[in-house]
Structure 1
């Protein structure tokens, strides 16, 4: 009798991540914290405005918030991959709670100055810069891979809900009480998040191979991005998108005040419509996910923002612009969740936070450079010309979908393959000894050389991505059918880490190379360690041979 076929699991929806208690608790805590952050931003700028007549000090508030992201994003990503993420979150949330509370106390007691607010804002920016890469990678641990796109979308919803209500709540507290109470509430919001993270029982992660050093971890993250076409493509399109949309973020207030001659209240309403569109977009993502790929979503979003910039340049009816901003919010969420989801689904756990930190750095760079570019253009020409130029940039950037397509990542199996046996070697080898050269000898018939060369080129990219400094193939001039692949690694410990970085997805690339091997036995693998043991420099000395399998 044929056993009954088990029913297929239900397709995940936007609400699926909320079925997981830890995600639900952390999402709520994150929402509260995001509201507190937006309240803090409004209160900080307002307090500096009342404490000084210097426009420069007011303008420096944005720099005090964003500069730490440029300085600390990459180090934060490396730390998040090397140290327990739960402990790091506890440290960053506690640090920001102390800073915000101290600022609140000094403000309520009258002991704060404009420079003091700038200093505390910079410290909070440091905490946020260290916290952000960790916070994004935590989502991957809380929900199954199939529900991850919806979890990332919900994180975007949290940010936009906070964007919509945080400034209004902060402004009301300032008007009726004091900016100091806003800072105190922000400190309390960090404590609430700290409590949720504290009670999260995170599964212990088992690390394979020697521990990475901090500087080496930074290099490994950058190297992974450099040799990962899927990630590199996302970064190029992220910069192009953020550079073009910076015109909207940077000039919408100028459009309201100078072009339409309206009040700051209309500016707040414009941002509220944008936030409402983003929240609405989250509920549309379910259907869009079934019909549109990430590549198509990004393309539609880019075209939508070309229309947004055009409308801000040409339309003079405020109520029409409210509708434009609503649809812009939908496009914003659609594009940003597509970028973030693709990045998180395309990288293995060992390098995840580092790649996300690079992604965040590229996004911030695009926004910063774009704001400066479009603002300068508006000063030298006009607001309309700057916005139309930005619209033209968005249309041109749509062509990046051809050389840099967003590749599907949902089905990737990035778990460690763990199929390479350890080489027969002296157990006394220090992980810092090196350099190391690994050679794999294949026997390939001349008719297969072109196909072998193409497959070997893909495998070379994986070697470089996972830690090799050099890689390539050579043929034996005396025996042309003997082709040797080599890769050069800085240290013995780094080569051991290579063993655990090779994923199940990579097995197909290795299999394509090995299918051309026609020898009677498996390809011969040889390891060479610099002799005598030296520091990690290139030297022309005899080499000690270590025979065995990888």
Structure 2
């Protein structure tokens, strides 16, 4: 019996070797790791200079809204682009444009002309670009590796993203402490350039496996009808919307927490973001692959409860180091619940409508944090960060319980 875990570990190592033996995937994943570090560095710098310029929780929420909301609309265009053109090429042009925006941030900050309204405009542009390339980004693993290796490739990509969630803020905090926000933006621009170079090298790599097929045309009405046919999918998507509106926005207010609650400045901002990133990496690595439907639902909702409870605990504590520990737990729950929910949707959706259902999932995943960050910031400014965090956590728990009851009631009997 002891051989089973060892055999599983050996199989995982073999899959990892096979994935990294694919030259195009290896080129992409290292370039993408550089880019995601720059992405998180830029987000930390934008949040900090917004807080320094305004001292307003509402402005922090508004900037987060400006980044996320435009992507809801451009994601539909991105789906059409990903269906028509090779994913590496679509993603390449997105990185070029993102790099130009990072350079604009750098130059405007150096010349002391970066106003809050210009920050809003630039982040709106970044959000629009992000939405346009999301479908291509999500399909990169399936484009580059054989289908049997797809789960391993996705796990590598998720771990890479969450590791950069820890490293990027740490690098950014160090540069901000040194007074070099412009250098943060320059490094971010270089990271976008690094992925652009990697994508240019693999721009003509054909899709692995079967030839690319044109997706059937589908409007939002068709997507909604497909989702309504599966109540469990509706429940999981609504859960992601609730988490996005009520729990995830707290991380957008980290600059306010670092300065107003913990009095730790740039160091505190980097530490808070880094602790969340450490937890997210642990959650991605430790997640069990529950495939039986009821077990998967229990796993999703257990992590969702921990996600909400840890927000309440974070809002209540005034001790910085305890807050970091809580955020590690928060990050574990965030990562595990998100990955489990996405896997559940994919495993329980018919292949012929998977793309359309995932397009709705993506839009919901973006609109929740966009609206939530804006409302969280306004509410925190009108009341307090503590009251807003506690209130959002309690409402999230109530919504989670209601959705769990709804989903389990509609699951097929086994």
**Bigger radius of gyration, 1 or 2?**
1
**Where in structure 2 are the equivalents of 1:304-323 lying within 5 Å?**
304-323=306-325
Could you tell me which of 203, 206, 217 is aligned with 2:207? 203
Q: How far apart are the structure 2 equivalents of 1:112 and 1:188?
A: 22
Cα 1:340–1:384 shift into 2, 3 Å: same
Point out where structure 1 has 5 or more consecutive residues left out of the alignment. 1-7, 409-550
Q: How far apart are the structure 1 equivalents of 2:257 and 2:114?
A: 32
Q: How far apart are the structure 1 equivalents of 2:32 and 2:119?
A: 24
Aligned to 2:287, what secondary structure does the other structure show?
helix
Q: How far apart are the structure 1 equivalents of 2:304 and 2:42?
A: 31
Do 1:33 and 1:190's aligned partners in 2 also have CA atoms closer than 8 Å?
A: yes
Cα 1:46–1:309 shift into 2, 3 Å: closer
Do 1:35 and 1:166's aligned partners in 2 also have CA atoms closer than 8 Å?
A: yes
Which string of whole-angstrom CA distances, capped at 9 and with x for unpartnered residues, describes residues 443-472 of structure 1? xxxxxxxxxxxxxxxxxxxxxxxxxxxxxx
Higher relative contact order (CA 8 A, sep 6+): 2
Cα 1:212–1:359 shift into 2, 3 Å: closer
More helix by share: 2
Cα 1:362–1:330 shift into 2, 3 Å: same
Aligned residue in 1 for 2:4 = none
Aligned residue in 2 for 1:39 = 41
Cα 1:172–1:263 shift into 2, 3 Å: closer
Do 2:311 and 2:330's aligned partners in 1 also have CA atoms closer than 8 Å?
A: no
TM-score (norm 2): 0.77
Aligned residue in 2 for 1:135 = 137
Do 1:243 and 1:366's aligned partners in 2 also have CA atoms closer than 8 Å?
A: yes
**Where in structure 2 are the equivalents of 1:437-452 lying within 5 Å?**
none
Cα 1:314–1:182 shift into 2, 3 Å: closer
Aligned residue in 2 for 1:398 = 401
TM-score (norm 1): 0.60
Which string of whole-angstrom CA distances, capped at 9 and with x for unpartnered residues, describes residues 26-65 of structure 1? 2222211111112222344556677x66968776533432
Aligned residue in 1 for 2:234 = 232
Do 1:78 and 1:221's aligned partners in 2 also have CA atoms closer than 8 Å?
A: no
Do 1:78 and 1:217's aligned partners in 2 also have CA atoms closer than 8 Å?
A: no
Cα 1:57–1:372 shift into 2, 3 Å: closer
Do 2:61 and 2:252's aligned partners in 1 also have CA atoms closer than 8 Å?
A: no
Cα 1:238–1:67 shift into 2, 3 Å: closer
Give the superposition deviation at 1:384. Answer: 4.3
Aligned residue in 2 for 1:447 = none
Which string of whole-angstrom CA distances, capped at 9 and with x for unpartnered residues, describes residues 292-336 of structure 1? 943222122122123213322444443333222212211111111
Q: How far apart are the structure 2 equivalents of 1:244 and 1:58?
A: 16
Cα 1:348–1:133 shift into 2, 3 Å: farther
Do 1:301 and 1:331's aligned partners in 2 also have CA atoms closer than 8 Å?
A: yes
Q: How far apart are the structure 2 equivalents of 1:10 and 1:382?
A: 47
Point out where structure 2 has 5 or more consecutive residues left out of the alignment. 1-6
Do 1:101 and 1:187's aligned partners in 2 also have CA atoms closer than 8 Å?
A: yes
Could you tell me which of 115, 118, 121 is aligned with 1:119? 121
Do 2:60 and 2:253's aligned partners in 1 also have CA atoms closer than 8 Å?
A: no
Give the superposition deviation at 1:76. Answer: 1.9
Q: How far apart are the structure 1 equivalents of 2:16 and 2:409?
A: 24
Give the superposition deviation at 1:190. Answer: 2.3
What root-mean-square deviation, in Å, do the aligned CA atoms of Structure 1 and Structure 2 show?
A: 4.0
Which string of whole-angstrom CA distances, capped at 9 and with x for unpartnered residues, describes residues 377-409 of structure 1? 55555544433333332332134223225999x
In the alignment of these two chains, the number of paired residues is 396
Cα 1:289–1:268 shift into 2, 3 Å: farther
Give the superposition deviation at 1:93. Answer: 2.3
Do 1:243 and 1:370's aligned partners in 2 also have CA atoms closer than 8 Å?
A: yes
